[in-house]
Amino acid sequence: MYRYDEFDKSFVAGRVTQFRDQVARRLSGELDEEQFRPLRLMNGVYLQLHAYMLRIAIPYGTLSSRQLRKLAFIARRYDKGYGHFTTRQNIQFNWPALKDCPDILNELAEVEMHAIQTSGNCIRNVTADQFAGAAADEIEDPRPYAEILRQWSSLHPEYSFLPRKFKIAVNGAAKDRAAIRVHDIGYQIVKNADGEVGFAVYVGGGQGRTPLIAHKIRDFLPKVDLIAYTNAIMRIYNLEGRRDNKFKARIKILLHEKGADTIRAEVEAEFADHRDDALALPQEEIDRIRAYFAPPAFPARATTSLAFEKRKAKDPTFARFVAQNVVAHKTPGYGIVTISLKSIGGIPGDASAEAMETVAHLAERFSQDEVRVSHEQNLVLPHVALDDLPEVFDWLAGQGLATANTGLVTDIIACPGLDYCGLATARSIPIAQRISQRFGDGARAREIGELKINISGCINACGHHHVGHIGILGLEKSGSEAYQITLGGSADETCSVGAITGRSFSSDEIVDAIETVVDTYLKFRAGSAEDFLAAYRRIGMEPFKEALYGRE
Amino acid sequence: MPKVISANRLADGIVVYAGRDGSWSERLSQAKIFASKAEAEAGLLIAQNDAQRNLVVEPVVVEVTEDASGLRAVTLREIIRARGPTIDFLPRAWAFARGAGPPPANSARQGPKAVLRIPRLGGAPSVILESMNL
């Protein structure tokens, strides 16, 4: 993992001191709300419906046990005993007092964490594949590049007041687990014909009220040019991105209005002008950062674990957990374990302080001290020996953390919605809970197979509804909550934006409507090997419309 | 429609209502009721003084109804602001450890199947929303 150097330490500590002074001046009245708002937002402090909310950055979703324990401590000491993991691999606390926020940031600084780049019109916390450095299908670990981008972009003076927020994701395997095509910039690590590793560059993706899929503007970018090319994109956006209309200010609109070819030409010209200056990324610097992410020294294990195989054979609950929540590790004899934060009927992404401590303990003991946060709002133990899996499973099961539903219909992404959020138009969490209860944890959910349901409580789309296989968008209609369904969205390498089925459904109707959609899929699928998305792409919208609305 | 004035307290962000005695209360039931728009606007000016005195943030006028059971916010957003999240969000250990003390008014855990009645504007029939308390 990346460790702070002296510069990072003094930089983060300096920010805490500065914010402590700003909060004191706000509380004393020296600063009014208008003056203070941008300052608190630059430190991740929002004001939501019921209280302040503090959003803490988890760079590229990687945490140590010590850091996760600190989050548990903060949850208990300064909040109501829980936190909410978000779709950008961050964590939010929903109830901190403003007066406590400097102390919380001080606690975070002790474990090399902060809330910088979690708000405002800057380059936000860079995200990455949650299986980075562990996945068997990986070309290269994306996190060193995410870290390099973080160091370059943190408080970058030229890019601290962009037309709008700016999100970058880096993915290291052919399978896109970082949703890079719905980011402002998505870097996909690729190998060219000469066997050189570099990046395919995607620009202009995003969700919100105008969902657009990123355009690939370059097939191969050498590593040495990562910063220079990012800088060129940022320059073009900063100059040409619209500042007259907040809703048209993201780079996706610029690409849409000017065309990808025009923007590509402009970026390439800007890049060519500045390619040789101080922005070149030397191999020594890449190696220095990569050293922090070097794979841990895994004790050698047999490819086949007897303890693991025996338990699997005699314990169907364990076998189901393995089938659903464990994937192949690049090192033989190891697995990657997803810990679902989607218990049946639970609140997606919420974790109690006790759950965080359990996971921290397991990471320390069984996963090389590492935990990951996925953009699907789950936690991951990236490096677990198969020999240890039965024990890890027993620990998780004992804490109610062994729900075997990764990728299933109940592994729902949901934003906080109107239960917390000042922007929301409808509730998301209760809908997720009801859907989860309807389908449950049994044979039915497994029969349905892979199915991603994403729920947003407003058009800002924090719940990624546009790219859910089934998306649900909560709206307000004549004073009541109404829910629009979209079908066929996907956030992976086959990225697509879901299409709206038709009129919206009331809160009472929406769970039945989702069940109708699922039943329609089961009726029309070409066998259980054809998952929902594949079936939808083959049969199209009509059978679903017919089932939902009949001849109305 | 009667109105009250609500804001978030500066120091901790908790939802508060302008009370009858000039103070700010966490309970909607303690709020001062303004019968007309003009009265509410006058009340809002006073509340804005409190915002300038750094007691509260962003005071606004909130429409309410009053019946035998007391004051009730009209919009779902304000109902949720008044009563807290409609979900059972407190971890068991936390709720248990603090079970003896009174919970803050706007984060009260609701009973099983709590029903939020939302009268529609214009006197249309009530919409009933069931909150999930699992």
Domain borders along chain B are 3-130
How much is the pLDDT for A552? Answer: 65
* Minimal CA separation from A503 to chain B, in Å: 19
pTM passes above 0.80: yes
Q: What pLDDT sits at residue B99?
A: 59
Best A22, A26, A50, A52 member to test B by mutation, with max B CBs in 10 Å, is A50
Please give the CATH number for the structural domain made up of A6-110: 3.90.480.20
Query: CATH 3.90.480.20 occupies which residues in chain A?
Result: 6-110, 314-398
Confidence of residue B133 (pLDDT cuts 50, 70, 90): very low
What is the torsional sign of CA A182, A183, A185, A191? negative
User: Could you say which residues from 421 to 460 on chain A have a Cβ atom under 8 Å away from some Cβ of chain B?
Assistant: 426-427, 429-430, 433-434, 437
The pLDDT score that the predictor gives to residue B105 is 44
Is the CB of A48 less than 8 angstroms away from the CB of B58? no
Q: Which residues contact A134 (CB under 8 A, 6 or more apart)?
A: A329, A330, A334, A336, A382, A383
CATH 3.30.413.10 boundaries in chain A: 142-292, 413-549
| Chain B residues closer than 8 Å to A82 by CB | 89-91, 94
Q: What is the pLDDT of residue A278?
A: 84
- From chain B, the residues in CB contact with A434 under 8 A are 132
Give dist(CA A170, CA A153) in Å, integer.
15
| Residue B28 · residue B17 · CB < 8 Å | yes
d(CA B49, CA B47): 5
Query: Which chain A residues are closer than 8 Å to B14 by Cβ?
Result: 50-51
d(CA B9, CA B27): 13
Q: Which residues in chain A have their CB less than 8 angstroms from residue B11's CB?
A: 27, 97-99
- A481 interfaces chain B, CB cutoff of 8 Å: yes
Q: What is the pLDDT of residues B30-68, one digit of tens each?
A: 999 999 999 999 999 999 999 999 999 999 999 999 988
Ramachandran category for residue A420: left, alpha or beta (phi over 0 → left; psi -120 to 50 → alpha): alpha
Residue from the list A29, A80, A433 with its beta carbon closest to the beta carbon of B132: A433
What was the pLDDT predicted at B94?
Answer: 76
Residues in B touching A479 (Cβ below 8 Å):
75-76, 118, 120-121, 127
Residue pair A82/A378 in contact (Cβ under 8 Å)? The answer is no
CA–CA–CA angle A232, A238, A242 (5° rounding): 135
Q: Which helix (H) or strand (E) holds B25?
A: strand B24-25
Domain boundaries A142-292, corresponding CATH code: 3.30.413.10
The rounded Cα A493 to chain-centroid distance in angstroms is 15
CB contact under 8 A, B107 and A80: yes
Express each pLDDT in B60-107 by its tens digit. Answer: 999 999 988 899 999 999 999 999 999 999 998 777 776 544 444 444
Asked if the Cβ–Cβ distance from B87 to A347 is below 8 Å, we say: yes
Q: Are strands A370-373 and A62-64 parallel, antiparallel or unpaired?
A: antiparallel
The helix (run of H) or strand (run of E) holding residue A385 is: strand A379-385
CB contact under 8 A, A48 and B13: yes
- Alpha-carbon distances of B85 from A45, A80, A435, B56, rounded to whole Å: 19, 13, 19, 21
To 10 degrees, the CA torsion angle through A269, A273, A275, A278? -140
User: What letter represents residue A283's amino acid?
Assistant: Q
pLDDT at A241 (0 to 100): 96
Chain A residues inside the 8 Å CB shell of B132: 345, 429-430, 433-434
pLDDT (tens digit, 0 to 9) for every residue of chain A, 552 residues total? 888 888 899 999 999 999 999 999 999 999 999 999 999 999 999 999 999 999 999 999 999 999 999 999 999 999 999 999 999 999 999 999 999 999 999 999 999 999 999 999 999 999 999 999 999 999 999 999 999 999 999 989 999 999 999 999 999 999 999 999 999 999 999 999 999 999 999 999 999 999 999 999 999 999 999 999 999 999 999 999 999 999 999 999 999 999 999 999 999 999 999 887 789 999 999 999 999 999 999 999 999 999 999 999 999 999 999 999 999 999 999 999 999 999 999 999 999 999 999 999 999 999 999 999 999 999 999 999 999 999 999 999 999 999 999 999 999 999 999 999 999 999 999 999 999 999 999 999 999 999 999 999 999 999 999 999 999 999 999 999 999 999 999 999 999 999 999 999 999 999 999 999 999 999 999 999 999 999 999 999 999 999 999 966
Burial class, A504, CB count within 10 angstroms (exposed 0-12 / middle 13-18 / buried 19+) = buried
Name the DSSP letter for residue A273. Answer: H
> Which CATH class for the A413-549 domain?
alpha beta
The answer, yes or no, to whether residue B120 has pLDDT greater than 50, is no
CATH architecture of the region A314-398: Alpha-Beta Complex (3.90)
Task: Please determine, for residue B115, whether its predicted confidence score (pLDDT) is greater than 60.
Answer: no
B14·A76 Cβ contact <8 A: no
Write the CA distances from A300 to A137, A205, A293, A396, integer angstroms: 20, 42, 19, 25
pLDDT for res B101? 45
CB spacing of A28 vs B54 below 8 angstroms: yes
CA distance B60 to chain A (A): 13
Q: Give Cα separations from A342 to A114, A212, A345 (angstroms).
A: 26, 28, 8
Q: Measure in Å the smallest separation between the Cα of A30 and chain B Cα atoms.
A: 9
pLDDT of residue B126: 34
